Structure 1
Amino acid sequence: MMKKLLLLFSLCFIFHLNSFGQTNEKVGPAFVDSASVMKTGPLSKATLKRSHEKAKLYNPRNRGINRVVPGKGLPKTIDPALQSKMGEIPVKSPILTFDGAVTRSTPSDPTGAVGRNHYVNAYNTEFAIWDKDGNVVLPPASLESIGGAFSGENDGDPIVFYDEAADRFILMQFSAERGSVTPPALLFAVSQGSDPVNNGWFTYRFDLESLPDYPKISLWNDGYYITTNKDALEPQGKEIVYVLERDRMLQGANNVRILGFPLPGIQNNGFYSPAGFSVMGGDLPPPGDAPIIYLQDDEWAGVNQDHLKLWLINVDWNNVGSSTIEESQEITNGVSPFTATFDGGGFQNLPQPGDTPEIDALQGAMMYMTQYRRFGTHNSVVMNFVVDVEPTAAKHAGIRWYELRQTADGAPWTVYQEGTYAPDNSDRFSGSIGIDLRGNIAMGYTVVNDNPANPVFPSIRYTGRFVNDELGIMTIQEESIVEGESPQPRPEGRYGDYAHLSIDPLDDLTFWHNAEYFVGVERVNKVGVFRIAANEPNDLGVVSLVSPQNATLTASEAITVKIRNYGTNPQSNFEISYSINGGPEVTEIFEATLPAESSVEYTFDTPADLSEIGETYTISISTNLENDSNTNNDTFETEVKNLPPNDVGITSIDSPSTGENLTGSEEITVTVSNLGGEPQQDIPLSYQIGNNGPVFETFPGTLEVGEDAVYTFNETANLSASGSYRITARTLLEDDFDPTNDAETVSVSNLDCIPEGSDCSQGDGIFYFELGDIQNERIPCTTGYIDFSVNSTDLDRSQQNFTVTVETGFAEGQRERFSMWIDFNDNAVFEDDERLITSEVIPEVNQPFSYDFSIPRDTDLGQHLLRVRAGDTDFSGDLNDPCSVMAYGTTHDYSVNIIDSTLDLEDFILNEAELVVISEGDGQYRAVLETDFDEPLRITVHNVLGQKLIENQVRNDGDAYIYDMDMSYAARGVYLVRFGTRKVGKVTRFIVK
């Protein structure tokens, strides 16, 4: 088969879309080839092959050069489409769950599709077939067991797809290049009938010119469409999307053609994964205008506004040279600003419980699948991708999801609804979304949280919404498919790389979700089967208490509740009741008609006495429907508190924070909370630095009941001298009910140095620290420096002898050592005579070791900073220089409060390299590392908060590694740039003015 590059004669012309006022490009295919069929017979347990059982890292996704501009883009605050509260409508737990795979392949790439009688599951690098009761029909076997074009092939990135219109299964994987003999390829197996076990398979191998990384398949009328992360360094003009002759593949024909198209005008941040619209149901769209979609983040260079970019492919199988792809739409209306980049594009993003590396958020991808369904009045498509909900604060992953609609075939696509699902402080990512026959939407995803008080190992859950619910909200209570038992075990942080939700063709209502979680060192692909659509004719229940809520209440409070018809029959003339604190029930009749699968609010005619200040009332609401099929949702119970009318307080001091180079005009920012039962306005506030006189100001405007507001004082504070500062902020409301919650106090230090940028990914440094009341477990690695100065313990100077305990994750040859200082003179400089522990050996890994120390008898009472450092002293530089950036290790700061109980009060070449950052004006900077070292390196740029802004791959141009940084959008301040490998690097600071 001869490849035909059509670049020289592909159609290429330019036209305008008036609705967007921009020039959109249309081009022809960049690649054409064909493949012949290799037929295989039924699958037999006797001929199945197992893959190797060893743990293996598969298909590292090369980022390429991330084109992120630090500080550029919106939003600058919280995601405007954020859903910050959980949905309230309960649904039933999963119908069925089972382990689809248990493997140590990293990542496992879980994928699976449900057909009429089977569920076909695949992962790196095996597959298995189940019946729909969760019983194994064909046990796990290597992908090569399919035979034909799959013989000897198990490189992975598999995708399983069910073509409902044809009642066939498709199994796809890629093949990596093997020397000059075997080129990279896409491999396809199409079941010859509806039975994937006994009907045999048509298999095809389509040779390509470069690796089709991260391939995803979708169905349109005129072909199977494949999107890839191909040629990520330079995607422009390269084939990224492929179209295969579906009709001929279903027939098992020879010379099946494949067309490859570029995505004209695409912008990306390194790794990227566009998506094709994939038809759900048996109703196919007309041929042509096959959509491809990708997100465009305005944090990326070349993108000025967040939007969804849409291309249309029109294939002419009778004259493939006339086939085209065109830029069709840049959808901005209805697209709220989003930040879709974490850590400058790196693959370790979200913290998980334990001292393990951060996990991959799977950024830069339209997550699989992008499901398209045809309805009588419109066409819909749903999609999702991960976003950073609070880009200016600590990373918080949520899922941005969309439903686009099209009023008729060929009409423009518009945003019907959007939302960002992040209902609490856990991270949610790796979503897969679908839309059922009735227009209900379901979404499965992964949840993780490193909070020691409520840790969540990577777990698989789902939510959803009903077709008539409030737009942009996942209204269904989150349900669990499985809760994780362990963190992601490998140091690379790799997760997924995707999840897969499919819909049962027997009813087009039941969802099958497949995703990855961990049990020890095993990666387990858990399949969860669930349904959110109504399934019973008569099912009525209470959703929530609408009012009253916590406030200053009266002796005649109206009780308003939300009730829902979960069934398929309309309901009317049923009883609804409420009671207070277990007292007598108030029962009334709901006389109107409540349609199927809908909710309504009802206000009782009889009010309730809730007038006692400070009292918490338990309110129980229930429905009584004859022949109710599910009584579990009939009763709802909640508490309401009668709040005192006047109660406000400071709940946090948000800035400034400990850092370097604090100024003489630092802004003091606090969060003010209305904890009482009535709105408050013009609240008097104050702040005080140490023993200096207080600053008095007034919070303007009105603060509603239960509302928080951030306030920045107009008068700034002088924190320019090195040292520690005690900041107290308080409310001064007259007749405040509870003065104990009025004030907050924090300590902020203007430090001489913050030695961030050390490498602790191999376990070097301190991952457990204990001193007195401070017990800091599972310390994350981050950038090698963390400020824990909010944690404090008392040291009684009259006792003199104290013990500190630390653990490390690396101990070899007596090289890992530990030092500690206390800044007794409070000048924020850790001086030699303040060092209390000097280079003590930490002899073993993950074992607590204790060290004794004493403090001078004349130490000043009060709070002082404490600094601890540990690292590999053979390679880390000077451990006992508290400001140096160690190659391997960590530095942490804590606080100690001195009391007195007797009183009433990698490489030596790289190490020798010279790293400089040159300002070229107008916010442009050039980082230059001069060295003879010639292997690819990574450059990272962090701000003083430890947030990674840039991570790129850089190659030596012959004399030096050079990287140009656009910092024109970045905030003024100090930044840290590092060139290096994981183990060794060169770090320097530069200032953006």
Structure 2
Amino acid sequence: MKKYILLLPLLFLFQLNVFSQQKERMGPAFIDSASVIKSGALSKKRLIPSTKKQKLYNPRNRGINKIVPGKGLPKRDDPTVQKKKGEIPAKAPIFTFDGADTRSTPSDPTGAVGRNHYVNAWNSEFAIWDKQGNVLIPGSSLASIGGAFNDETDGDPIVFYDESADRFVVMQFSDDLAPRGTSNSPAALLFAVSQGPDPVNSGWYTYRFDLESLPDYPKISLWSDGYYITTNKDALEPQGKEIVYVLERDKMLAGANDVRILGFPLPGIQNNGFYSPAGFSVMGSDLPPAGDAPIIYLQDDQWAGVNEDHLKIWLMDVNWEELSSSSIRLNQELTDGVSPFIATFDGGSFKNLAQPGSDTDIDALQGAMMYMTQYRRFEDHNSVVMNFVVDVDASPAEHAGIRWYELRQANDGAAWSVYQEGTYAPDPSDRFSGSIGIDARGNIALGFTILDDNPVDPIFPSIRYTGRYVNDALGVMSIEEQSIVEGLSPQPSPFGRYGDYAHLSIDPVDDLTFWHNAEYFEGTRRLNKVGVFRFSATELNDIGVISLESPEDASLTASEQISIRLRNFGLNPQSNFEISYTINGGETVTQTYTETIPAESVTEFNFSELADLSEVGQIYTLVISTNLQGDVNPGNDSIEAEVKNLPPNDVGVTSIDAPESGENLSASEQVTVTIENFGGEPQGNIPVSYQVGNNATVSEVFNGTLEVGGLEVYTFNQTSNFSSSGRYTITARTRLANDFDPSNDSERTSVANLDCIPEGSDCSQGDGIFYFEINDFVNERIPCTTGYLDFIGGTTNLDRSINDYSVTVQTNFADDDVEKFSMWIDLNDNAVFEDSERLITSEVIPEINTPFTYNFSLPEDAALGQHLLRIRAGDTSFDGDLNDPCSVMAYGTTHDYSVNIIDSTLDIEDFILNEAELIVVSDPTIEGLYRVVMETSFNEPLRLTVHDISGQLLLENLILNEGDGYVYDLDMSYAARGVYLVRVGTRKVGKVKRFIVK
């Protein structure tokens, strides 16, 4: 069959209320057809056994993503992040069973449920189960399907169930025709459509569509006029190339010959390497009108050419009678309701998320609308749900969460709008590889992978799910997180590949039950686990408590009303049942709910008996329960909640946000801090101050109002001078009158005005330092970012009298002894890393993912105190000079730290009396407040005492060296006027300073 390319740009000007500009309507860029090759039932004789050989699939077709450094929002945390897990009780999975057991990397888990079967596929095999999880067809090569699938096992399979036709579809790509002797075409898409509802016995229609280049990462979706395919094709130059395809569904279902395929570009798409758009895929048997088949993709404003985070929607119109009139057009750019997101990890590399027990980070699967994008028709609207992975905070360390959307359309042909959005990241664990679905009642489920390398509570890659009910608060996954399977070991492969996707499908028998399939590990085995679960009600009588609504943590009284939320999980309306609560195991308070809760509805209830929660600082544990006669699910009847009676006055500084380390800091830098209200009452007119080093304290007043638990960013009016090169310590604090807990008042950070910051090196291939250890300080799983990272706050002590130290580094790239490492310590504190201060020079890092140790010595006369430390590593065969600390290397990283040089041989008397200086500085804005400072690198606890002129001891306290010296804030506002003496030292030796209280 002859293949030909059509370049049929049809330019139309039109305007939408969502997005107004010229848009290009384009015709098909590719047209071809294929004939059917039938194959029979899947008899045991035809099955080609599963192979257990380790194999890496498709290792090079996911080009490294690129971002514009410093570009894009948000600059702080994701504004839509859900910060705690859902509280609505949910049942554990109905049942689970293991799917794939493979050594393939990655396994590419996919599976779809039909009326009587579950078909699972992976790289590059498949199996079939009945609906109870019993094996009907064991794991076998995809070539066992026969027909066009003979000798074709190149990977990226997708299994799809067409509910309105009651058929299964299996798709995979081919990237090499040489075994078939037709090397004129390098790639193809392969399809198998079951000839009837039974994928075991009905036989298959198979098709092979030859393409010009590899259709990487293909995903299939259903619209009424065709099967739609999206790909990661021609990722480096997508403009004008066919990226999405549509196939003649009706002919494929009939097993006809000459089934046509049309390929279209995505006009106006921006990407940064690997990308995966998605087609809206119909769930349920109610098909939409033909035409206007939507394709959607995210656009991250970190990418070149994208000025605002948004979602692009294209519409495809196919005319199978007159192919040349078929077209695709960019229809909407959704910005309203789309909050800023960070959808790029580690500058675009594919090793992102740290896992316990392994040096290999896992691919977060960035740049993809995760499979599937499920579309469902309701009586008064159409809905579609989708998800993709985001980095939920702006810190250098990656924290993966799942950004999800429900878009709605008022009627067929209307514009789409964001109905709700959220980012599911309720704790520090990473969540990614999501698959989302919407059932016939509008409830949403989200299956995902979770992992955490926290050494105290590690989580190997594991599969879980959450969800929400249709009437819950928007933007929240309100249902408690449930486990499908907890992983037993880290990913066994060194390549970082995970997934590359998961697959959630919905049972067509009830359109309510979700079947989720994803990947986990046990030793060297890559396993797929299928979990079957349901949120929608199926029982008649089921009432439970969802949450305690009030009181919340605050300053509480002896007469607090207890308010709760109840949910009717069942299909019958309910009334006249008992509700009770206890506090800290005390007397049970019981009342009757006399109203009526409709089926699958939520209501609030207020107990008339008030509770005594008046003890300040006390944590009260409440157990709240329902008692419905005939309740079929007692597991959701009770909840336990905690409420703390907070002290009324308690605020503090939780972070110092500006300035940051940089080049050419000025003499008038603004200082910005974040203030938090830890107490139980709103606070205003809060005294706040900062001090740079041992300079005079700058004191001002925050005039806004901090609500209970609230955070506010405050920028001081008085700037500070950071123009001299070097390292600065900033201490910021609040001074609220009668503050309950002074320990949370202050925060300290270090910044530096550096001679140079060599940003712009490429570390996406693994060049540079990804693990660093010096003395007792360890920095592991270091992200790549822009090639430079500021870790100046990280410090350790080095004793110059020992003179025998080492550092350990690890890289993720090494080739022909060109990856090398150097290190400097800025001993003269001028923020310039000079050749004489280079302590390690061009040491070879010979292997990847292996720690190597390098020795160095400190000069005997190295200055005591804190100094900057710079390390660099990279491929020295390319541009950039490793030993020029300011040179931007083509491939590598540069990091800055701090070290504190001490000398253990010095006698404490010599150290304190000869080297230390004690000063007392008064605060010009707060009468009676003094700061006592003794600058020294001595690091043992010392004692501070204050005496009046007659020798009477007024104060004695233990003080610690917090990095640059001993600092103590001394409140003498209640002391009589006169002369006082402050002493800092040991009981035997110390420094004394006189000061006057006026």
* TM-score, reference length from structure 1: 0.83
SS at match of 1:250: helix
Q: Deviations over 1:952-985 (max 9, x none)?
A: xxxxxxxxxxxxxxxxxxxxxxxxxxxxxxxxxx
Partner residue, 1:417: 420
Change (3 A) 1:755 1:104: farther
State the one-letter code of the partner of 2:175: A
Deviations 1:404-455 (A, max 9, x none): 2233333333332222323233333322111111110111122344555554
Cα 1:65–1:876 change in 2 (3 A) is closer
Q: C-alpha distance in 2, partners of 1:612/1:466?
A: 37
Q: Does 1:266 align with 2:265?
A: no
Q: Which residue of 2 aligns with 1:896?
A: 900
Give SS of 2:84's match. coil
Query: Equivalents in 2 of 1:341, 1:710: separation in Å?
Result: 27
Say if 1:162 and 1:94 are closer, same or farther in 2 by CA, change over 3 A.
same
Aligned ranges 1:689-728 → 2 under 5 Å: 689-728=692-731
Give the stretch that moved more between structures: 504-513 or 457-466: 457-466
Aligned to 2:86: 87
Distance 1:135 1:51, change over 3 A: closer
1:840-895, Cα deviation, whole Å (9 max, x unpaired):
89999988887887656665543334455678999999877666677678756243
* Structure 2 partner of 1:530: 533
For residues 91-133 of structure 1, the C-alpha deviation after alignment (integer angstroms, 9 at most, x for no partner) is 1122222332233333322111111222111112111222223
Considering Cα pairs closer than 8 Å and 6+ residues apart, tell me whether 1 or 2 has the greater RCO. 1
1:607 equivalent in alignment to 2:606: no
Per-residue deviation at 1:293?
A: 2.4
CA apart distance, 1:681:
0.5
CA contact under 8 A between 1:767 and 1:777: conserved in structure 2?
yes
Once the two structures are overlaid, the 10-residue window that deviates more, 735-744 or 179-188, is 179-188
Assess, with a 3 A threshold, how the Cα gap between structure 1 residues 786 and 353 changes in structure 2: closer, same or farther.
farther
2-structure distance, mates of 1:632, 1:214: 42
Q: Work out whether residues 357 and 781 of structure 1, in 8 Å CA contact, stay in contact via their aligned partners in 2.
A: no
Q: Which residue of 2 aligns with 1:806?
A: 808
The equivalent of 1:473 in structure 2 is: 476
Please state whether the residue corresponding to 2:795 is helix, strand or coil: strand
Q: Among 774, 777, 792, which residue is 2:777 paired with?
A: 774
Query: For residue 3 of structure 2, what is the amino acid of its counterpart?
Result: K
Partner of 1:47: 46
Counterpart of 1:638 in structure 2 is 641
- The aligned runs of 1:124-143 (5 Å cut-off) are 124-143=123-142
Mapped to 1, the partners of 2:747 and 2:104 lie a distance apart of 49
Q: Distance in 2 between matches of 1:801 and 1:279?
A: 70
The alpha-carbon deviation at position 372 of structure 1 amounts to 1.4
Residue matched to 1:938: none
SS of residue in 2 equivalent to 1:471: coil
The 1-side partners of 2:838 and 2:827 are apart by 10
Residue 695 of structure 1 deviates from its aligned partner by 0.7
More deviation, 300-309/609-618: 300-309
Matched, 1:591 2:594: yes
Corresponding position of 2:149: 150
Matched residue SS, 2:143? helix
Secondary structure, in 3 states, of the residue corresponding to 1:895?
strand
2:976 is matched with which residue? none
CA distance 1:646–1:225, shift in 2 (3 Å): same
Structure 1 contact 155–174 (Cα < 8 Å) conserved: yes
Relative to structure 1, the CA distance from residue 834 to residue 485 in structure 2 (aligned partners, 3 Å threshold; closer, same or farther) is farther
Structure 2 CA distance, aligned partners of 1:759 and 1:322?
Answer: 47
Give the corresponding residue for 2:795.
792
Q: Is residue 2:400 matched to residue 1:401?
A: no
2:509 to 506, 511, 521: 506
Post-superposition CA distance 1:742-798 (Å, at most 9, x none) = 222223333445566485966875735251x4344555666666544433334556x
Aligned counterparts, 1:604-753, within 5 A: 604-753=607-756
Counterpart residue number, 2:2:
2
1:535 CA displacement = 2.9
For residue 234 of structure 2, give the secondary structure of its aligned residue in structure 1. coil
RMSD: 3.5
The residue type paired with residue 2 of structure 2 is: M
Quick check: 1:115 aligned with 2:114?
yes
Retained in 2: the 8 A contact 1:801–1:852? no
Distance 1:881 1:161, change over 3 A: same
SS at match of 2:250: helix
CA distance, structure 1, for counterparts of residue 757 and residue 584 of structure 2: 56
Shift of 1:163: 0.9
Q: Alignment identity in percent?
A: 69
The CA deviation string for residues 12-58 of structure 1, in whole angstroms up to 9 with x for no partner, is: 65544466443344343333322111111122333322465443332
Give SS of 2:728's match.
strand
CA displacement 1:572-608 (0-9 Å, x = unmatched)? 1111111221111111111111222222222211111
CA contact (8 A) 2:64 2:350 kept: no
SS in 1 for 2:908: coil
* TM-score, normalization by structure 2: 0.83
- Taking a change above 3 Å as real, the CA distance of residues 802 and 68 of structure 1, as seen in their structure-2 partners, is closer
1:429 to 429, 432, 438: 432
State which of 443, 464, 484 in structure 1 corresponds to 2:467: 464
2:945 alignment counterpart: none
Is residue 320 of structure 2 the alignment partner of residue 317 of structure 1? Answer: yes
Count, aligned residues = 902
- Report if aligned partners of 2:173, 2:218 keep a CA contact under 8 Å in 1: yes
CA gap of 1:186–1:833, structure 2 versus 1, over 3 A, is: closer
Distance 1:520 1:817, change over 3 A: farther
Note if contact 1:117-1:132 (Cα within 8 Å) is conserved in structure 2: yes
Determine the structure 1 residue equivalent to 2:568. 565
What is residue 551 of structure 1 aligned with on the other side? 554
Among 343, 347, 350, the residue aligned to 2:350: 347
C-alpha distance in structure 1 between counterparts of 2:806 and 2:792, whole Å: 16
Letter in 2 for 1:322: S
Query: Aligned AA for 2:27?
Result: G
Checking the alignment, whether the CA contact within 8 Å between 2:23 and 2:329 is kept in structure 1 is yes
Inter-partner Cα distance in structure 1 for 2:269 and 2:837: 56
From the superposition, tell whether residues 577 and 257 of structure 1 become closer, same or farther in structure 2 (CA, over 3 Å): same
Specify the code of the residue in structure 2 equivalent to 1:44. Answer: S
Residue number in structure 1 paired with 2:283: 280
**SS of alignment partner, residue 699 of structure 2:** strand
Query: Rg: which structure is higher?
Result: 2
**Equivalent residue number for residue 367 of structure 1:** 370
- SS of corresponding position for 1:545: strand
2:27/2:324 contact within 8 Å kept: yes
Structure-1 residue corresponding to 2:55:
56
Counterpart in 2 of 1:184?
187
Question: Which amino acid in 2 is paired with 1:615?
Answer: Q
- Cα 1:758–1:273 change in 2 (3 A) is closer
Q: C-alpha separation between the residues in 2 aligned to 1:387 and 1:409?
A: 31
